[in-house]
Amino acid sequence: AYRSRLFIQGLMNEQLKNILDLPTMQEMLDSLWRATGIPLGIIDMQGEVLVETGWQELCRQYHCKNPDVGQRCLLNWVSNQGTDGCELPGREAVEFICESGLVNIALPILFEDHYLGLLFIGQLLYEPPNVEHFREQAARCEFDPAVYLKLIADVPVVPREKAQEFLAFHAIQV
The model's pLDDT over 99-158, given as tens digits with 9 standing for 90+, comes to: 777 888 888 888 777 788 888 888 899 999 999 988 998 898 888 999 999 999 999 999
- In terms of Cα–Cα distance, which of 1, 53, 2 is closest to 31? 53
Q: 114: helix, coil or strand?
A: strand
* Phi, psi (rounded to 5 degrees) for 144: -65, 110
pLDDT, mean of residues 43-54? 87
pLDDT of res. 14: 66
Strands (DSSP E) found in the chain: 40-44, 49-53, 94-97, 103-111, 114-124
Q: In this predicted structure, which of 56-60, 76-80, 114-118 has the lowest mean pLDDT?
A: 76-80
Residue-level length of the chain: 174
* Phi, psi (rounded to 5 degrees) for 51: -145, 140
- 59 touches 102 (CB < 8 A): yes
Specify the pTM. 0.74
